[in-house]
Each structure stands twice: as C-alpha cells, then as structure tokens.
Structure 1
Amino acid sequence: MENYTYNSFILQLEGLNVSKESVYPVFLFLFFSYLFILVANAGIVILIFIDKNLHEPMYLLFCNLPLNDIIGNSISVPRLLIDMLRPPSERLLSYYECVLQAFTTHMFATASLTVLMIMAFDRYVAICNPLRYAAIMTNKMVIKLTVSAWGVAFVMVGILLGLTIRLNRCRTLIMNPYCDNASLFKLSCDSVFINNVYGLTFTVVLFSASIGSTVLTYTKITVVCLTSNNKSLNSKALKTCSTHLVLYLIMMFSGMSLIALHRFPQFSDYRKLSSVLFHIIPSSLNPIIYGVQSKEIRKFLFKLFEPKKMVPS
C-alpha cells in the first residue's frame, strides 16, 4: 500500500496491533467504555439542563467538558472498533475523512484544556471574590467564556491542520490507530519544518497558558483559604477545587504521556495504546468524579431513583 500513488486520496490506517486472541476482549472493553462515555456524559448534560437548581455558572461551564468528550470520542472510537474487525489491508479511509478525524482529535485535546481553564477562573471568582460572584459570573460572562474556550481551540487547531493540508503526500499509511496531525504530515515528502515549529509553539503556548493559569489560580485560592477563618468557605473550596484539579491532572498526564511517546519511535505500540486511552480514560472519569463530588447532582439522582411511595386511594 505504501507509495502506490502520489497525493492519493485513499489512505490506510495501521490500527492497533492486537493478537487474534485479544481482539474480542479489547473490542468489548472499548465498546462498553464508549457506551459508558456516551450515556454518562449525555446524562450529566441533560440533568444539568432540566434541573433549574443546577443552572449555575459552575455547572453550565462544566457542560462543555462532557459535550467535548462525546464529540471527541464519537469521531475516533467507532471507526477504531470497525477497523479492529477488519484485516489490515481493508482499513481504508479517504483523505478528507482523515483530516476531519485529525481536526476533531486535536479539538478534543485542546478544548479539554481551555474549558478547564475557564472552569478554574469560575472557581477563583467564587472563592476569592464571593461577594461579587453573581455580578461577575453573569449569563453573558458564561457565554463569553464558553465562546472563548472553543474559539481559541478552533483557531489554534485550524492553523495546525491548515499547515498540514498544504503539503504534498507521497505516502499512504497512517502509522496510528486514528488520524492526527503528526500522522498526516508524516505522509509528506516536503519539508515539514514549519509544521514542526508551529506544532512545538502550539504545544508550549497551550500547556504554558494552562499550567500557568491553573497554578496562579490555585495559589490565590490557597492564600485566601489559609488567611480566612471561614470554615464554610474552606470546605467549599476544598470540594469544588479538588474535583477540578483531579480532572485537570488526569488530562495533563494523559496528554503529556502521548506527546512524550511520539518522540520515541521504538515505543510505537505503547504510543498507539496511549493515544486510545487518551480518549477513553479522561472521558470516562470526568462524569464519575464530577457527578460523585457534586451534592446537587447526587441529590437529583437520589430523587430520580428513589422508590415512589404509594398513596392509598
């Protein structure tokens, strides 16, 4: 399949290297993980929108995370599941489908961090400036923050993929379970210097902004908690911030592991596995961690599943 046509619009995915004995167990694990991601994340979003008690900035901003998880996984995981049941020679897809998949994959990763950044801002205002929280975190501000999180991700990823699709292609094999930017520009025989420079700049700017804003936010929150004798405030800060911090650390660890493994071709199988788990693990844990921590969400679920008392006629 390699090098059979110059600028071919039909590409081949290498997919996961799974032994014949492991195909169905791995398939079932990924299938049920994907099913759980859809049900759990969609359930959280629906729950927040139907319960007026949850129409608060914290929950409305959090809605961006499960929506991102659903979209990001729905583009890559079903295709991966189908390819697992096909022989390698039949794992074909069009170039445009590959570009769309790469765009969605990078949007998923980038938006996860930008959404967590706006959620950190919300926690900062709530704890460090509680008296002005309602005045600052209005519906208009929630919309602005949401548009900013998705807008920044869209522009950054758009430039990233724009620099890649301008390249001529002389290869057709995608050395990954699904399409991403690195796999796409590796198909080219042109110079990819600009792509590498922008890709590195993209990663450094995104991670620096994310880590810097999170460290700054939590430093100020910690100072406020240490200098305050308000036990209620400290308890609220611990509960809401610990949830946000756990979600953030999971996403950062998953992303950094994947980026690091891209630099070591000898660990290609681990990189492939890591790239799949990068979608599965954070998206599965987000609704569990946030749902279990949130008192309001727990109350709603208990009320929903509480046995109805029969009223005697």
Structure 2
Amino acid sequence: MESNISSNSGYLTLQPLGLTPSSTLPSFIFSLLTYCITICCNLSVFLTIICNRTLHKPMFWLLLNLPVCDVLGATAFFPQLIVSMLHQTRVISYSACVLQAYFIHSCGGASLLTLTAMAYDRYIAICYPLSYNTIMTTSKVIILTSAVWLSDLGFMGILLILFARFKICRTNIVDSYCNNPSLLKLVCEDITINDYYGRVGIFYFQGFTFLAVVFTYIKILIACSFNKQARAKALQTCVVHVIVFMLLQFMVVITLILHRMKNISSQARRILGVSILIFPPLLNPLIYGFVMKDIREKNVIYKFKKKKVSF
C-alpha cells in the first residue's frame, strides 16, 4: 500500500519477485552462482591484463574499464536481490535505493562510453597503423579513461541530485531494482526538469555512442575494402567489440521501453528488466576472455583447463 511520507529517510518496497515457496531456494542458488561466476570471470580478465606485460597496450588498458563496470554493476544488484530472497522481504532503505540506482546507471553509462573509446582505438589502429603509437600514447589513454569516468559519474551524480530535491509521496518501487525512472514515479511534484535532463542523458549515452561507433566502423570498413591485411585485422579485433556494444545497446533500449509500456505483464517486466544486469556482466568477460586470442591464451582459467586436458 502506498503512503504519504514527509521524509526521504524511510524504507521503500521493491516489486515482488513472484517466487513460490518451492522456487525460492533454486532461485537463491541460481542468483548466488550467477553473481559468483560474474565476479570470477571479470576478475580473471582484469588480472590477466594487469599481470601480463604483453597486454599492456592501449586497447587492453581501455578494456580494463569493462570488468570494473561489470563487477560494480553486478555488486549493486545481486547482493540486495540475494538478501531479499534469503529474508523473503523486498524492503530497501531510501538511501540504499538511491545508491543502487546511482551505481547501476553509472556502470551502464561507463560501459557504453568505454566501448566507444575502444572503437576509436580500433579506428586509429586500422586506418592509421603507422601513426598508431604516436596517437594512442599512455597519456591519451589516461585522458580517454578519465573522460569516460568523469563525464559518467558527474552526469549520474547530477541526475540523482535533481531527484533528491523532491519529497517522495509513494513508497512502492515499480521495478525489481532501483533506477531513475522508478524513483521518479515516487514523486508527486513537477519532474519536467528531470525528464529533460534524462532525455539529454539518453541522447549522450545511447545516441552519441551509437552514432560514434557506427561512424567509426563505417570508416574501418571503407579502409578494409582497399586493404586485405587491414580487413583480416579488423575481423580479429572489431567483431567482438561490435557484439558487446550491440548487446548492451539492445538491453538498454529494452529497459527504456519497459518503463513506457503500461500493458506488459509484471512478470515479463521483471524478467526483461533485470536482463541488462545479468547478461552483459556475465557474457562480456566470456566474450573477451575466451574469444579474443591475446587474452584467452594468457587467461588463468583457460591455462588451467588446457593443462587439465593435457593430463
């Protein structure tokens, strides 16, 4: 039941998971295993790059941002979900809800910006191979990484500051986790400024990154059409980036559409809504860690598996 509250220091109620008594334990185990696998796989990619000097190149330094995003995003979502299953309650404090929304949005935005920076790196490597080392210097990588995180964290910080100025009049979150659209539905005041700011965010994090990546890969394809060697190099390094980028873009679009569709069933909304927090963080390290040859051959898990098979 919704209630009027005069303070934002109370508790909120997330959307029920709809679990039956018989499905609670399997769901708890599945969520715990998914979280552990996500953390382990992302840490594996992160440590593989850090510990191997042959991977200390601009592309891999930029790639380091992805496992960081995935670990933070998964940690913002899974522990709260697992605890709610364990205690069979969907109550969350107001401050914890706002923090969860901040980290989830920040990780999603940083992932899109990182993939855009990586597309730029591939563009320079393939279209200007002789100038690559001159252009993609260590300082350039630091600037790109700083731009990704400062713009992302700053934008998301302002987004939640704009929300914090309101007094909420409802306590029911219409989603399985806290996010900006769900938080705004708790407000009974005029949210026009927040709405326009959110639209700017959609254009920047989705529109700008999509256009930038499409433009970059069109230029790469044009360059490859005149150079067979460049074409082979592009296939080895760019296909993985495109798959990961399009997967994330698709998931974000689905999430945005769900908040604007009123006729979709609550169960479908729950399943599709959490997909963006489950699949990209789980699949990204698998795609990069086991498909890209440079990382796969130096990955601890891959080496252990290969050694075990040889016995």
Alignment of 1:125-136 (within 5 A): 125-136=124-135
CA contact 1:16–1:273 (8 Å) conserved in 2: no
Output the CA distance in 2 between the equivalents of 1:307 and 1:273: 38
Residue aligning to 2:298: 300
Matched, 1:139 2:154: no
CA contact 1:16–1:176 (8 Å) conserved in 2: no
CA contact 1:7–1:170 (8 Å) conserved in 2: no
Residue aligning to 1:3: 3
Deviates more, 1:58-67 or 1:189-198: 189-198
TM-score of the pair, normalised by structure 1: 0.92
Letter in 2 for 1:188: V
Instruction: Note closer, same or farther for the CA distance 1:99–1:140 as it changes in structure 2 (3 Å cut).
Output: same
User: Partner of 1:174: helix, strand, or coil?
Assistant: coil
Residue aligning to 1:51: 52
CA contact 2:8–2:167 (8 Å) conserved in 1: no
Residue aligning to 2:26: 25
Output the CA distance in 2 between the equivalents of 1:307 and 1:287: 21
Q: CA deviation at 1:299?
A: 2.0
Q: CA deviation at 1:239?
A: 1.3
Deviations 1:50-101 (CA, angstroms, capped at 9, x unpaired) = 11111111111001001100011101111011112333xx432221111111
Output the CA distance in 2 between the equivalents of 1:4 and 1:198: 26
Residue aligning to 2:158: 159
Residue aligning to 1:217: 216
Output the CA distance in 2 between the equivalents of 1:202 and 1:239: 32
Output the CA distance in 2 between the equivalents of 1:170 and 1:239: 53
Deviations 1:136-186 (CA, angstroms, capped at 9, x unpaired) = 111111111111111111122112111111111111121222111111121
Residue aligning to 1:311: none
Q: CA deviation at 1:246?
A: 0.3
CA contact 1:261–1:270 (8 Å) conserved in 2: no
Deviates more, 1:155-164 or 1:254-263: 155-164
Deviations 1:18-41 (CA, angstroms, capped at 9, x unpaired) = 233332232222221111110000
Letter in 2 for 1:43: S
Output the CA distance in 2 between the equivalents of 1:183 and 1:65: 26
Output the CA distance in 1 between the equivalents of 2:8 and 2:232: 59
Matched, 1:102 2:107: no
CA contact 1:8–1:169 (8 Å) conserved in 2: yes
Output the CA distance in 2 between the equivalents of 1:91 and 1:164: 22
Letter in 2 for 1:80: L
Output the CA distance in 1 between the equivalents of 2:184 and 2:169: 10
Gaps of 5+ in 1: 309-313
Letter in 2 for 1:9: S
Letter in 1 for 2:157: G
Give the number of aligned pairs. Answer: 304
Matched, 1:35 2:40: no
Residue aligning to 1:247: 244
Output the CA distance in 2 between the equivalents of 1:91 and 1:4: 19
Matched, 1:184 2:221: no
Residue aligning to 1:119: 118
Deviates more, 1:25-34 or 1:96-105: 25-34
Gaps of 5+ in 2: none
User: Partner of 1:93: helix, strand, or coil?
Assistant: strand
Deviations 1:255-312 (CA, angstroms, capped at 9, x unpaired) = 101111111133233222222211110111111111122222222245566549xxxx
Instruction: Note closer, same or farther for the CA distance 1:25–1:201 as it changes in structure 2 (3 Å cut).
Output: same
Percent of residue pairs bearing the same amino acid type: 37
Residue aligning to 2:234: 237
Q: Which runs of 4+ in 1 moved over 4 A?
A: 302-308
CA contact 1:170–1:189 (8 Å) conserved in 2: yes
Output the CA distance in 1 between the equivalents of 2:202 and 2:293: 36
TM-score of the pair, normalised by structure 2: 0.92
CA contact 1:13–1:173 (8 Å) conserved in 2: yes
Matched, 1:277 2:275: yes
